[in-house]
Chains A and B, each alone.
Chain A
Amino acid sequence: MRMRFSFRDWRVAQIAYPWLVMIFTASAVQAQFADCQPVTPNFSVFLSEPAYTTGTFQDQKQLQQFLERLQFELDQEHDARWVKSPSTDVRFVMCFHRAPRLDGQEFVPSVIETMHTRRVLLEIWGNLEAEDGGKKITARMNYLLVPLKFAANRNERVPPALQRLVYSDPGTASKPDFVELIARPLDIDAFVAAAFGFKLLRERQWDIAHQNLCRAATLLKSIQERSPRGRTGEDIQALRTFVVESAGLAIKNAGVDPKYKKPGLLSLYKPNEPCHGEE
């Protein structure tokens, strides 16, 4: 029997083809996106593979070493509790073979939902560039705040869940080093505190949500004082405004929550000035 294509069949194929390509591409992207195991029952931050320019790493082994060292520098484990720093207690997890694209297109709702359920607060990756034989280095880092992305997927009004910061060493260091360039615990902690505070707000833990959101506001202010430019600066400002509003929401909600013991800590604060000048 001979197949015959009518004009109508041709039109259907013309419309369906781009959709099929998109579906297959998305599936392929997801299929390549390696899973990463968080450290349960702690909250985790994923350190994923960055993209990089030629000359940054010689081979995959060097890339792995970069991630291992980054994890060493950021994950204080035993020692953080002995030093008693105010940082949120999270575990940094090295995610080898997990390489999100710069626009984060792999983070489809199902991926985010899984991460959110497994208490992942943040995923960090980016693009590393070395110039002039490695003398000048630049890192464009991405920080995905998982609870915010989770809320965005549910059409809630949230600021950009994907935040970006650029670090560069213009060749002043004797031996420029990407780990030293990007291992900024306070910057990371700003995003961790924002993500954690927002998650706690949704879980109706008003006091501790307020504490983390106010802390995030303070740390984001420090980032702003370095004057990040362009869209980065606007996104940081939007996030800071959001965490301050969320801290105000914690106060407001605590006031009407019959389960919140009154008068509690949050009765010392007003929703329109939730961190008392520290925001």
Chain B
Amino acid sequence: MKPFSLSLEWVQGAFGRLGAITCVATAALLFPLFAFAGVQRPCSQPAVFQGAAINSFVLPYRYVGAKPAEEVQAASRELSALVHFEVLFSLLKYGSVGGTDLVATGREPCDVDSVINDVSHGRSPDTLLPGRALIVTWGRLFEQDEQLYLQSYVRFLRRGEEGAKPETVSVKLQAGESSLDLIAALPTQAVAFPPRRISRGDLARVKAEFRRTMIVRSEPNLDAPGRSIDFGPNRVFPYLITETRDGWMKIQPMAEGPAGWVRARVEAGESREEWSLRRWLPELSYIDAIAGFLKLRTDQAGSPEPAIRVRQWVDSGFARFKAAVPEQDAPVAYGLASAVQGFIAFDVDGASGRSEAVRLFAKARELMSDYAAALNLAAVTQPLGAEGPVDAATVDRLGRRLTGALALDPGDAIVLTNLRNVYSLYAAQPAWSPFAPQELSQRVAVVKGMIEKVSPVR
């Protein structure tokens, strides 16, 4: 749980939107230990809990195809509400989190780009603070002959000074008399999970669990009396999570609404026979792992959990996903998982983790061979795994691999920046350059011109 001072900071953010600053002091007195919050609001007005280190947005699971049956239409709404609670609950262990269930208000689907853009730019109380993270989950549903097919997507980011900034690692190589500064980003920060087949029985289960979940009860018990919180899409219902117990969250509304216990984890037990949202949607475990990664990277130390424990959660999240989904069905998800685990080894283990990181980045490259950033990541870190000093041959190989990555995505600003730095090294140490001076000048001009065209990396 968070110390009080931090909680107060983000409570002010949440209440500021509601224009009820006086409530802050009251809430602070009543709930000295909250570090978590949730809300349901329309996706046309996205807003984060500004004080939370990690925010989760769940957008509606959109129906694809001809007009769906009423129950399928309802299922798309119910499913996103259940996913919202499940993700929020799984993130509680990371401390300082906020969850928002974004609800479509019109016929148009929620636009993910627009939602992210709204909360990652500007300085209003609805936007992310620099360094804070956001995970966006959404999906689509398709029905056919008593079977449903469901696909989930996830995108994650941390905010920079203006807009989202990519997750990167920096590599400094001593090459002869010069140093070579390189950077590498994750191959992607968005994944489309493979579609899953679900039955009408599963759908009925979603409905039943939704009905049971969307009730605030006096006790953490499904038999306890309660009041529905299945409000319409235009009603904003922000709440604080003041306590958790065995898959239940105790919520306290920040404006109007009922207070009490909400069942957050749809899982009766560990038995394989029992229905579990996490087992049914293994991508939720993947999202949990991504949240752990962001927790490790976020500047805001939301909880005193040591890195080793968070890392175990990341590893177990990916392991649960991999146990349910074979690699050939989800190469990009597997590749990104390798890259994320490589980033953690790189960040947390320092020099001792470099060779493991290099191995994981090579695996990511193998699985995501058409992603320029995956090639860049493997190319830039590969010299760290080699014995001996960085010599002209190593830099030549690096330059060639960067040019190969650029062939796949000429607009990748990070690859361009690395290539510019390699050429700068050649300019400083002409003996290492495979190019004649005139050709090198021409190459520098081309790369600089392209950097100016795309968003520059400084």
Q: How far is the CB of A248 from chain B (nearest CB, A)?
A: 12
Q: Which of A83, A177, A211, A247 contacts B191 (CB 8 A)?
A: A83
Does B403 lie within 8 Å of A276, measured CB to CB? yes
Q: Verify A278–B144 contact, CB threshold 8 A.
A: no
Q: Is the CB of A72 within 8 A of B370?
A: no
**Residues of chain A with a CB closer than 8 A to B149's CB:** 69, 72-73
From B144, B406, B445, B450, contact of A65 by CB (8 A): B144
Cβ < 8 Å to B, chain A residues 184-222 = 186, 189, 207, 210-211, 214-215, 218-219, 221-222
B87 to chain A minimum Cβ distance, whole angstroms, is 18
Chain B positions 183-197 with a Cβ under 8 Å from a chain A Cβ: 188, 190-192, 195, 197
Interface string of A253-273 (1 = CB under 8 A from B): 000000000011101110000
A108 to B: closest C-beta gap in Å: 34
In the complex, whether B443 has a CB less than 8 A from a CB of chain A is: yes
A174 to B406, CA, bound (A): 42
Contact present for A275 and B371 (CB under 8 Å): no
Question: How many residues from B make CB contacts under 8 Å with A?
Answer: 46
A79 and B153 within 8 A (CB) = yes
Q: When the two chains form their complex, are residues B370 and A265 in contact, meaning their CB atoms are under 8 A apart?
A: no
**Cα-based distance from A278 to B329 in the complex (angstroms):** 24
CA distance A267 to B370 in the complex (A): 22
Task: Determine the chain B residues whose CB is within 8 A of the CB of A275 once the complex forms.
Answer: 404, 407
Q: When A65-B144, A214-B408, A219-B369 are in contact, do A85 and B332 touch as well, CB less than 8 Å?
A: yes
User: Given B65, B197, B375, which contacts A278 in the complex, CB threshold below 8 Å?
Assistant: B375
The CA-CA distance from A82 to B57 in the complex, in Å, is 14
CB distance from A257 to the nearest CB of B (A): 16
**Is A11 an interface residue, CB under 8 A from the partner?**
no
A86 sits at the interface (CB 8 A): yes
Contact of A72 among B65, B409, B446 (CB under 8 A): B65
Is the CB of B64 closer than 8 A to any CB of chain A? yes
When distances are taken between beta carbons in the complex, the residues of chain B under 8 Å from A83 are 153, 155, 188, 190-192
Residue of B at shortest CB range from A184? Answer: B328
In the bound complex, do residue A263 and residue B410 qualify as a contact, i.e. CB atoms below 8 Å apart? no
Instruction: Decide if B190 touches A69 in the complex (CB within 8 Å).
Output: no
Residue from A73, A84, A263 within 8 A of B195 (CB atoms): A73
Check B369–A85 contact: CB distance below 8 A.
Answer: no
CB-based contact B404/A278 at 8 Å:
yes
Please name the residue on chain A nearest to B113 by beta carbon. A82
Q: Check A214/B369 contact, CB under 8 A, given A79-B153, A85-B332, A263-B446.
A: no
- Closest-by-CB residue of A relative to B439 is A267
Is A265 a contact of B445 with CB atoms below 8 Å?
Answer: no
Docked-complex contact A218 and B369, CB < 8 angstroms:
yes
Query: Which among A69, A79, A84, A222 has the greatest number of chain B C-beta atoms within 10 A?
Result: A79
Inter-subunit contact B190/A84 (CB<8 Å): yes
Is A215 within 8 A of B408, CB to CB? Answer: yes
Also in contact, A82 and B112, with CB within 8 A (given A268-B446, A269-B407, A278-B407): yes
Of the candidates B140, B370, B401, which one forms a contact with A215 in the assembled complex, judged by CB atoms under 8 Å apart? B370
Contact of B400 among A73, A207, A215, A276 (CB under 8 A): A276
A100 CB to closest chain B CB (Å) equals 24
Please indicate the chain A residues that have their CB under 8 angstroms from the CB of B452 in the complex: none
Partner of B401, one of A214, A265, A277: A277
- Tell me the smallest distance from the CB of A249 to a CB of chain B, in Å: 14
Taking the complex as formed, is B352 at the interface, i.e. its CB lies under 8 A from any CB of chain A?
Answer: no
A56 at interface, CB cutoff 8 A: no
Q: Given A72-B142, A79-B153, A219-B369, verify A276-B407 contact (CB < 8 Å).
A: yes
Q: In the complex, how many angstroms separate the beta carbon of A118 from the nearest chain B beta carbon? A: 24
How long is the Cα–Cα vector from A110 to B443 in the complex, in angstroms?
A: 46
Contact of B188 among A85, A207, A247, A277 (CB under 8 A): A85
CB closest residue in chain B, given A87: B370
Selected from A211, A221, A263, the residue in CB contact (under 8 A) with B369 is A221
> Residue B109 at the A interface, CB < 8 A?
yes
Q: Which residues of the partner chain B approach A265 to less than 8 Å between Cβ atoms? A: 406, 410, 446, 450
- CA–CA, A83 and B155, complex, Å: 7
In the complex, chain B residues whose CB is within 8 Å of the CB of A103 = none
- B442: which A residues are within 8 A, CB to CB? 263, 267
Tell me the B383-430 residues at the A interface (CB within 8 Å): 400-401, 403-410
- What B residues does A156 contact at CB under 8 A? none
- Do residues A211 and B188 form an inter-chain contact, with CB atoms below 8 A? no
| Chain B CB within 8 A of A235 CB | no
Residues of chain A whose beta carbon lies under 8 Å from any beta carbon of chain B: 65, 68-69, 72-73, 76, 78-86, 177, 180, 186, 189, 207, 210-211, 214-215, 218-219, 221-222, 247, 263-265, 267-269, 274-278
Cβ contacts A to B, 17 pairs, < 8 Å: A72-B149, A78-B109, A79-B192, A82-B112, A82-B155, A84-B188, A85-B332, A86-B372, A186-B331, A189-B370, A207-B410, A214-B408, A267-B442, A268-B406, A276-B407, A278-B404, A278-B408
Query: Would you list the 5 A-B pairs with minimal beta carbon distance, nearest first?
Result: A278-B404, A276-B404, A82-B112, A214-B407, A276-B403
Q: Hey, which bits of chain B sit against chain A, CB under 8 A?
A: 62, 64-65, 109, 111-113, 138, 140, 142, 144-145, 149, 151, 153, 155, 188, 190-192, 195, 197, 329, 331-332, 369-372, 375, 400-401, 403-410, 442-443, 445-447, 450
Taking A186-B331, A218-B369 as known contacts, 17 extra A-B pairs with beta carbons closer than 8 A to each other, sorted by chain A number, are A65-B144, A68-B144, A72-B195, A73-B195, A79-B138, A84-B188, A84-B190, A221-B369, A247-B407, A265-B450, A268-B403, A268-B443, A268-B446, A268-B447, A276-B401, A276-B407, A278-B407
